[in-house]
Chains A and B, each alone.
Chain A
Amino acid sequence: MDKELVQKPIAVGIAQDPVIGPGHDYTTVTDKISELVLTTKIHKEWVIGFLFSASLASLLGVAMYFLLFKGIGVWAPNVPVGWGFDIINFVWWIGIGHAGTLISAILLLLKQEWRTSINRFAEAMTLFAVACAGMYPLMHTGRPWLAYWMLPYPNTMGMWPQPRSPLLWDVFAVSTYATVSALFWFVGLIPDLATLRDKAKHTVSRYIFGALSMGWRGSADHWQRYEMAYLLLAGLSTPLVVSVHTIVSFDFAIGIIPGWHTTIFPPYFVAGAIFAGFAMVLTLAIPMRAFYKLEDFITMHHIENMCKVMLATGIIVVYGYFLEVFFGWYSANEYEKAVIMNRFTGPYAWSYWALIFCNGLAPQILWWKKYRRNLLLVWIISNIVSVGMWLERWVIIVVSLHRDFIPASWGYYTPTIFDEAFFAGTIGLFLTLMFLFVRLLPSIAMFEMKLLVPAAKARPESEGGH
Chain B
Amino acid sequence: MSTSQHTPLVQIALSPAAAQAAAAADSQAALEAMRNRVAGQTGQRFWRSLEELSGTSEFQRWASNEFPDGASTWSDSVGRRRMLQLLGASLGLAGLTACTKQPEEKIVPYVQAPEDFVAGKSLKYASAVTLNGYAQGVLVESHLGRPTKVEGNDLHPASLGGTDIYAQAAPLVLYDPDRSQTLLRNGRISTWPAFVTAMGLIREEALANKGAGLSILTENTTSPTLAAQMKKLLAELPQAKWHQFDSVGTDNARAGAQLAFGQPASVQYNLAAADVILSLDADFLTHGPGAVRYAKDFGRRRKLWKESAHGSSHAPAAASHAAPAAAAHTAPAADTHAAAPAHAEAPKLNRLYVVESCPTSTGSIADHRLPLASAEVESYARALAAELGVNAGAATTKVSADWVKKVAADLKAHSGASAVIAGDCQPPAVHALAHAINAALGNIGKTVSFTDPVEINTAPGFESLQQLVADMNAGKVKTLIILGGNPVYTAPADLDFATAMKKVGTRVRLGLYDDETSALCQWHVPDTHSLETWTDLRAFDGTITIAQPLIAPIYGSHSAIEIMSVLLGRPEVTSYQAIREHYQSNALIAAPFEDNWRKALHDGILAGSALPAKTVAVRADLAAALPAPKAGSGLEINFRPDGSVYDGRFANNGWLQELPKPISRITWDNAAYIGSSTAAKLGLGNGDLVELKHAGRRVQAPIWIMPGHAADSVTVTLGYGRTRVGRIGNRIGYNAGAIRTSAAPYISSGLEIAKTGDTFRLATTQEHHSMEGRDIIRVANVADFEKDPQLWGHEHPPMSLYEDFEYKGYKWGMAIDLSACTGCNACTIACHAENNIAVVGKSEILRGREMHWIRIDRYYEGDPDDPGIYHQPLACQHCENAPCEGVCPVAATTHSEEGLNQMVYNRCIGTRYCSNNCPYKVRRFNFFLYSDWDTQSLEALRNPNVTVRSRGVMEKCTYCVQRINSARIEAEKEGRKIRDGEVITACQSVCPTEAITFGDLNDPNSKITRSRRNARNYKLLGDLNTRPRTEFLARVRNPNPELAAPKAPAPSHG
Q: Could you list which residues of chain A lie within 8 angstroms of chain B, going by C-beta atoms? A: 70-73, 76-83, 137, 140-143, 146-147, 149-150, 159-162, 164-168, 171, 251, 254-257, 334-335, 338, 401, 403-412, 414
Contact = CB atoms under 8 A, between A and B. Distances in A.
A142 B857 contact: no
Nearest to A167: B889
B888 A255 contact: no
Nearest to A140: B911
B348 interface: no
Nearest to B856: A408
Contacts of A143: 908-910, 951-953
B887 A80 contact: no
B848 A256 contact: no
A406 B908 CA distance: 25
Nearest to A397: B916
Given A142-B926, A162-B890, A407-B771, 9 more contacts: A71-B951, A78-B847, A79-B849, A82-B925, A142-B952, A142-B954, A143-B909, A407-B769, A408-B859
B62 interface: no
Nearest to A162: B891
A141 B767 contact: no
18 contacts: A71-B927, A71-B928, A79-B924, A82-B913, A140-B911, A143-B910, A159-B890, A162-B888, A167-B887, A167-B888, A254-B887, A256-B883, A256-B919, A257-B916, A257-B919, A403-B768, A405-B920, A406-B920
Given A161-B890, A407-B768, A407-B772, A255 B921 contact: no
Given A143-B953, A256-B883, A406 B909 contact: no
B953 to A, nearest CB: 6
Interface in B882-896: 883, 886-891
B917 A150 contact: no
A426 B144 CA distance: 53
Contacts of A70: 928
A421 B417 CA distance: 68
Contact of B916 (A83, A146, A403): A83
Contacts of A159: 890-891, 907
Interface of B: 766-774, 776, 844, 847-849, 855, 857-859, 872, 874, 883, 886-891, 907-913, 915-917, 919-929, 951-954, 1020-1021, 1024, 1026, 1052-1053
A30 B481 CA distance: 98
Given A141-B909, A149-B909, A167-B889, A80 B848 contact: yes
Nearest to A146: B909
A398 to B, nearest CB: 11
Contacts of B952: 71-72, 141-143
B910 A141 contact: yes
A141 B913 CA distance: 10
A338 B768 CA distance: 14
A145 to B, nearest CB: 9
Nearest 10 interchain pairs by C-beta: A142-B910, A142-B952, A73-B927, A408-B857, A78-B848, A82-B912, A409-B921, A162-B891, A143-B952, A167-B889
A17 B927 CA distance: 56
B708 to A, nearest CB: 17
A68 to B, nearest CB: 11
B798 to A, nearest CB: 15
Among A76, A141, A150, which residue has the most Cβ atoms of chain B within 10 A? Answer: A141
B889 A165 contact: yes
Contacts of B928: 70-71, 73
Nearest to A143: B952
A81 B889 CA distance: 19
A271 B773 CA distance: 36
Contacts of B771: 407
Contacts of A165: 886-889, 913
A408 B872 contact: yes
Contact of A255 (B767, B769, B887): B887
Given A79-B924, A161-B889, A255 B910 contact: no
Chain B binding surface, main DSSP class: loop
Given A409-B920, A410-B768, A79 B774 contact: no
B870 to A, nearest CB: 10
A193 B858 CA distance: 68
A82 B916 contact: yes
Given A143-B952, A411-B767, A79 B891 contact: no
A142 B919 contact: no
Contact of A73 (B849, B886, B953): B849
A79 B872 contact: no
B768 A255 contact: no
Given A79-B924, A143-B951, A164 B916 contact: no
A83 B912 contact: yes
A342 to B, nearest CB: 10
B925 A142 contact: yes
Among B857, B916, B921, which residue has the most Cβ atoms of chain A within 10 A? Answer: B916
Nearest to A160: B891
A136 to B, nearest CB: 11
Nearest to A157: B907
A411 B848 contact: yes
A405 B919 contact: yes
Contacts of A149: 890, 907, 909
A257 B909 contact: no
Contact of A72 (B844, B910, B919): B910
Nearest to A148: B909
A405 B926 CA distance: 23
A77 B953 CA distance: 14
Nearest to B886: A164
A334 B849 contact: no
B890 A150 contact: yes
Contacts of B921: 79-80, 404-406, 409
A410 B767 CA distance: 6
Contacts of B769: 407-408
B908 A142 contact: yes
Among B859, B919, B920, B951, which residue has the most Cβ atoms of chain A within 10 A? Answer: B919
Given A257-B916, A410-B767, A412-B848, A79 B889 contact: no
A73 B282 CA distance: 42
B687 to A, nearest CB: 14
Contacts of A142: 908-912, 925-927, 951-954
Contacts of A140: 911
Contacts of B1020: 406
B857 A147 contact: no
Among A79, A83, A161, A257, which residue has the most Cβ atoms of chain B within 10 A? Answer: A79
A164 B890 CA distance: 10
Given A142-B908, A143-B953, A255-B916, A334 B889 contact: no
Contacts of A72: 910, 927, 952
A81 B848 contact: yes
A409 to B, nearest CB: 4
B917 A76 contact: no
Among A338, A406, A409, A414, which residue has the most Cβ atoms of chain B within 10 A? Answer: A406
A251 B912 CA distance: 12
A171 B913 CA distance: 14
A71 B912 CA distance: 14
Contacts of B912: 77, 82-83, 142
Contacts of A162: 886, 888-891
A71 B772 contact: no
Contacts of B883: 255-256
A73 B926 CA distance: 8
A168 B909 CA distance: 13
Contact of A171 (B888, B889, B908): B889
A412 B767 contact: yes
A409 B665 CA distance: 12
B925 A407 contact: no
Nearest to B919: A405
Contact of B858 (A79, A83, A408): A408
Nearest to A165: B889
Contacts of A403: 768
A148 B844 CA distance: 29
A257 to B, nearest CB: 7
